[in-house]
Amino acid sequence: MGRKVVEQRARVTHALEALRHRIGLALGAAGNAHSDAEHELTKLRLEQLVLSVGLDRAGTDSALAEYRGDPAMAAVLSWLESVRSRFYADWADGPDELRRLVASAAPGPAGRPPSEWLGKLGTEDGPASPGLWRIGEASVDGASVGRTPGTTLSFDVAVPLLDESHLSITSVPKTRATVDALVENLLMRVLSTFAPGAVKVHLWDVGQLTAVLPNFYALSRTSAVTVHDPTRLVDLLDELAGHIRRIHTQTMQAGYASLRALREATGKRVEPWRIAVLYGNGEDLAPEHLRDLKRVASGALAAGISLVLVDVPTVLGGSVETISLLDDRRAVTSMTGAGVEVRLDSPLPGGQVANAAARIAEAIVTRQGGPRSFADLLPTEFGQECSARELRTPVGFHEGEPVDVVIGDATPHALIGGPSGSGKTNFLYALLGGLAARYSPDELALYLLDFKEGVSFAGLAPGKKDESWLPHARLVGVNVNTDREFGLALLRFLSDEMRRRSAAAKEFEVTNIAELREADPNGHWPRIVAVIDEFQYLFAERDSVTAMATSLLEDLARRGRSQGIHLILASQDIAGIDAFWGKPAVFEQCTLRIAMPKARRVLAESNQAAVSAPRWHAVVNHESGVAHGNQLAHIPDASGKNTFPVLQRQLWQRYASHGRPRLFDGAVAPRLDELTAFTALAPGSSRPRALVGLSIEVADNAHGVELPAAPGRNLAVLGSSTAEALSVLDAATRSLARQHAPGTAEFVLGCAVDRCLDDVRALGDDLAALGHKAPVVPASELPALIAERAAQLSEADGECYLVLYGVDAVLPALEHKEPGRPSGLDHLRALLKQGPVKGLHVLGWWRGVARLKDTLGFGGTEDIGAWVALDVQGSELAAFCAGQVVHWAPRAGRALFFDRSTHASPEVTVPFHRPEADHA
């Protein structure tokens, strides 16, 4: 064997040994790693086991018995203990810190022992609420937190509630008394923290009708505690949902996400806190209840509403803390985790709770009955509010708390109902007073119309007894019960204003009044509130007024909201509301409902709140009358002495520069000489205008006939009513006289009715005093006069007004005809036909329509361009009204006026009062 071979073998052997060595090393390492891993696994398993029973119990728990004495177990235990003490070393001060924290977050009754507060009235009435409410205490072993072994450290346990969290309590069998004590303790801490009335508690127990938390019985006489019917969970959830909706709207409109944010920003508690305690029985709620409950829970906290659920299995939205009872003293809570047992506070002494509840109830009742007057509705400083977004004012009080009325986007229009004497007018005064004191006349304009007989709004306009007026009022209409046209005129006016506002909004490319005011800061865009008391009169008859009023009201109700035009419709219940059947649009848009005691149909059908409302109260409902929107309010006396009139005077002095309102008083005949339309007349017009009466419209306008040199420009007064005929011709003549310089026009006063002669002469004297030629021609001379004027027609120059009183009286004479010659009637017809273009106009009074027809003959109706009908039936007038059907039943002090050159149909006019008639 050669040396080479030997060397080769030695190399192979060496290599193999090296390989064996490496493999040995690798196997050894793997074995070690394996045993390390197994060791680790055992450790982890033991750890898991220890953790599952708890470190403190590891020494005794049977599940770990087999490992006792196992060094691995000893190592695990010592390791875990070192971890725990390392962890708790940082937390050595934890219990003390917790105690300090609870003391600061749960001050006074929220966290202190009951002996310090139980039975004393709460005082807190500001915007904040304690963050935590104590329920008991818990302990930890001192050794575990780096203290001397064997010591225990205890700390207070508290839960959040108001504005913060809901609470879900789960019992175990035979712990109902403990749960009641826990809930009672919490509620009593809350009720004793706040001023009486600031918290409202709702109790519902699926299994009990009345005996829920019996120590609170005294409070259930007030609205601080309401015990709900076990079979009507839906009512409670509805009520809560209503509060949430209302409060949400209120806070969002003010620009805040929650009631708490609103309170903190304004520094005022605007709403009570509400706590609803629902006792279930551990069984699932009906699906529809569960759905509603979840919906309520998700919006409740932001509305200051907290739920306390006892044995109601559900997963709530929003933040929820839990308390799970272990037995009748101990519980665990999500606040401290499952590892810490809470020793619940002992029950409050029952007798003392009942006494405390009675004291709170008494304080609430005292506040409720406390003297709240009209002055309490008023702000300390007038005119500070802005109406861009809404109008808001308290109108009354509930248990000392102001109850607001809001007129705005969600509640644009209001319906007020109540039987006669129930206080509607008083309510309106409270509302108007509250609004007028808060908003300046630049922010709020009022249009007030009362269809009742009587003068309930008359005091708002200047009167004989009181020269002051309400500066916000632009129009006051009283005694309009027979003038439905005036209601129509108001609606037309509002409708025009709505169009004007919507055109302006379009121009500024905005969609509502708030945006318009922002885009046009120098514009004048007050919110308009139109109050129509006894509005059902508008719909009193089946006629064109009703039809027009309906369509205008519907349009205003639908579109007024965005233009800041609001309707407040008041009525004695049934009569008024009946007027709505068939007009649901108006009814539905009136989402603000005010029901006076015993009002029917104002609220939703199933809502009986008005039936039980006490005297001088109102149910204020911003939810279309649905029960959950009910707010009962005591309305202070706003119409007695030292109430509204005093406020009005103050406002009048403050806003003196805002002009006086237009007063339309249906019971008073207007005076021609007080009318701007008359006093402003002056010579120089080529179209002189003969005024005949006051027009029924919002502006103080007169009806007049223009008498230019054009065919048909004559005026006929029709009917047998002498006083009114005299009034119309008197006003027409006097107004024409003002439009001609002395000597430039002739007024020929032809009087065929003897008993009018004195009046006619008096008029003639007045005209002469003004420098006009105004001869008075008696009946006997009339035929000659007419013949003469007819003959002169071709060469007539200058204006001549032939005012004829009782033309029909001379008809027989005029009809006298000599063969081959024209009769007096022919002359009169000629004057009527050809006169106007020559500057001669006839203003004639015929005491019957038939007589006028006789005068005109066949086809002459066109020569009467305008007429005023007095005590004449509408059916007689068709011929003079382009054949259209005329709806008119004569009524005292009113006439019907038609001018074919300007009117589509006749209009009601109010003849002026002639002072001369008083002396007749």
Which residues are annotated as part of the binding site? Answer: 418-425
Of 99, 117, 158, nearest to 345 by C-alpha is: 158
Nearer to ligand ATP, 185 or 425 (CB): 425
Q: Residue 211, class by beta-carbon neighbours within 10 Å (0-12 exposed, 13-18 middle, 19+ buried)?
A: exposed
Any contact of residue 382 with ligand ATP (CB under 6 A)?
no
Report how far residue 279's alpha carbon sits from residue 309's, in angstroms, rounded to the nearest whole number. 6
- Fill in the amino acid letter for 582: G
Report how far residue 411's alpha carbon sits from residue 589's, in angstroms, rounded to the nearest whole number. 8
Nearer to ligand ATP, 637 or 766 (CB): 637
Any contact of residue 207 with ligand ATP (CB under 6 A)?
no
**Per rule CB under 6 A, count of chain residues that contact ligand ATP:** 16
Any contact of residue 515 with ligand ATP (CB under 6 A)?
no
Q: Could you tell me which stretch among 92-100, 214-222, 350-358, 415-423 binds ligand ATP (CB under 6 A)?
A: 415-423
Q: Which of residues 684-703 bind ligand ATP (CB under 6 A)?
A: none
CA atoms in the 13 A half-sphere facing the CB of 86: 6
User: Minimum CB separation from ligand ATP for residue 894, in Å?
Assistant: 25
User: Minimum CB separation from ligand ATP for residue 601, in Å?
Assistant: 15
CA distances from 655 to 295, 445, 460 (A): 49, 13, 14
Question: Pick from 424, 472, 517, 561: which binds ligand ATP (CB under 6 A)?
Answer: 424
Report how far residue 564's alpha carbon sits from residue 524's, in angstroms, rounded to the nearest whole number. 12
Q: Between helices 824-834 and 849-856, what is the axis angle to 10°? A: 90
Count, residues in the chain: 920
CA distances from 875 to 78, 288, 887 (A): 114, 63, 7
User: Minimum CB separation from ligand ATP for residue 304, in Å?
Assistant: 29
Report how far residue 803's alpha carbon sits from residue 781's, in angstroms, rounded to the nearest whole number. 14
Any contact of residue 423 with ligand ATP (CB under 6 A)?
yes
Of 429, 604, 569, nearest to 491 by C-alpha is: 569
Of 430, 365, 362, 433, nearest to 400 by C-alpha is: 365
User: Minimum CB separation from ligand ATP for residue 423, in Å?
Assistant: 3
Nearer to ligand ATP, 636 or 666 (CB): 636
Q: Which of residues 122-141 bind ligand ATP (CB under 6 A)?
A: none
Q: Could you tell me which stretch among 347-355, 378-386, 424-432, 764-772 binds ligand ATP (CB under 6 A)?
A: 424-432
Nearer to ligand ATP, 424 or 438 (CB): 424
User: Minimum CB separation from ligand ATP for residue 430, in Å?
Assistant: 8
CA distances from 898 to 129, 544, 546, 882 (A): 70, 16, 21, 11
Nearer to ligand ATP, 450 or 746 (CB): 450
Nearer to ligand ATP, 455 or 762 (CB): 455
* Alpha helical stretches, state H, 163-286: 176-193, 233-253, 259-266
Q: Could you tell me which stretch among 96-104, 413-421, 823-831, 839-847 binds ligand ATP (CB under 6 A)?
A: 413-421
Place of tokens 């007749």: 920
**DSSP output for 54-111:** -GGGTTT-GGGGGGTT-HHHHHHHHHHHHHHHHHHHHTTTHHHHHHHHHHHHS-GGGT
User: Minimum CB separation from ligand ATP for residue 658, in Å?
Assistant: 27
Any contact of residue 372 with ligand ATP (CB under 6 A)?
no
Kindly report the number of other CB atoms within 10 A of residue 42's CB atom.
Answer: 16
Nearer to ligand ATP, 141 or 637 (CB): 637
Report how far residue 237's alpha carbon sits from residue 577's, in angstroms, rounded to the nearest whole number. 30
Report how far residue 361's alpha carbon sits from residue 230's, in angstroms, rounded to the nearest whole number. 24
Nearer to ligand ATP, 426 or 591 (CB): 426
Distance of CA 789 to the CA centre of its chain: 67
User: Minimum CB separation from ligand ATP for residue 480, in Å?
Assistant: 15
CB 309 within 8 A of CB 280: yes
CB 389 within 8 A of CB 527: no
Any contact of residue 635 with ligand ATP (CB under 6 A)?
yes
Report how far residue 35's alpha carbon sits from residue 43's, in angstroms, rounded to the nearest whole number. 12
Of 415, 380, 450, nearest to 569 by C-alpha is: 415
User: Minimum CB separation from ligand ATP for residue 856, in Å?
Assistant: 50
Question: Pick from 421, 659, 683, 771: which binds ligand ATP (CB under 6 A)?
Answer: 421
Q: Which of residues 434-473 bind ligand ATP (CB under 6 A)?
A: 452
User: Minimum CB separation from ligand ATP for residue 640, in Å?
Assistant: 6
Instruction: Look at residue 915 and give its three-state secondary structure.
Output: helix
**Contacting residues for 433 by C-beta, under 8 A, at least 6 apart:** 374, 377, 378, 638, 643, 644, 647
Nearer to ligand ATP, 432 or 691 (CB): 432
Distance of CA 22 to the CA centre of its chain: 93
Nearer to ligand ATP, 219 or 595 (CB): 595
Any contact of residue 616 with ligand ATP (CB under 6 A)?
yes
Nearer to ligand ATP, 397 or 486 (CB): 397
Binding annotation for ATP: 418-425
Report how far residue 288's alpha carbon sits from residue 296's, in angstroms, rounded to the nearest whole number. 12
User: Minimum CB separation from ligand ATP for residue 104, in Å?
Assistant: 46
Any contact of residue 621 with ligand ATP (CB under 6 A)?
no
Report how far residue 270's alpha carbon sits from residue 272's, in angstroms, rounded to the nearest whole number. 7
Report how far residue 172's alpha carbon sits from residue 69's, in angstroms, rounded to the nearest whole number. 38
Q: Could you tell me which stretch among 631-639, 650-658, 767-775, 856-864 binds ligand ATP (CB under 6 A)?
A: 631-639
Of 596, 575, 592, 569, nearest to 449 by C-alpha is: 569
Distance of CA 531 to the CA centre of its chain: 13
Any contact of residue 418 with ligand ATP (CB under 6 A)?
yes
CB 247 within 8 A of CB 388: no
User: Minimum CB separation from ligand ATP for residue 636, in Å?
Assistant: 6
> How does DSSP classify residue 780?
G
Kindly report the number of other CB atoms within 10 A of residue 180's CB atom.
Answer: 18
Q: Could you tell me which stretch among 131-139, 293-301, 416-424, 657-665 binds ligand ATP (CB under 6 A)?
A: 416-424
Q: Could you tell me which stretch among 7-15, 273-281, 299-307, 632-640 binds ligand ATP (CB under 6 A)?
A: 632-640
Q: Could you tell me which stretch among 325-333, 422-430, 670-678, 755-763 binds ligand ATP (CB under 6 A)?
A: 422-430
User: Minimum CB separation from ligand ATP for residue 138, in Å?
Assistant: 55
The two beta strands, 330-333 and 702-706, are unpaired
Question: Pick from 115, 148, 231, 420: which binds ligand ATP (CB under 6 A)?
Answer: 420
Question: Pick from 171, 215, 426, 479: which binds ligand ATP (CB under 6 A)?
Answer: 426
Nearer to ligand ATP, 222 or 426 (CB): 426
Nearer to ligand ATP, 49 or 455 (CB): 455
User: Minimum CB separation from ligand ATP for residue 592, in Å?
Assistant: 18
Nearer to ligand ATP, 537 or 805 (CB): 537
Site mask, ligand ATP, residues 637-666, x = CB under 6 A?
Answer: x-xx--------------------------
User: Minimum CB separation from ligand ATP for residue 196, in Å?
Assistant: 24
Any contact of residue 422 with ligand ATP (CB under 6 A)?
yes
Q: Which of residues 550-589 bind ligand ATP (CB under 6 A)?
A: 572
User: Minimum CB separation from ligand ATP for residue 194, in Å?
Assistant: 29
Nearer to ligand ATP, 311 or 573 (CB): 573
Q: Could you tell me which stretch among 144-152, 284-292, 636-644, 656-664 binds ligand ATP (CB under 6 A)?
A: 636-644
Report how far residue 763's alpha carbon sits from residue 782's, in angstroms, rounded to the nearest whole number. 18
Instruction: Provide the binding-site residues for ligand ATP, judged by CB under 6 A.
Output: 418, 420-426, 452, 572, 616, 635-637, 639-640
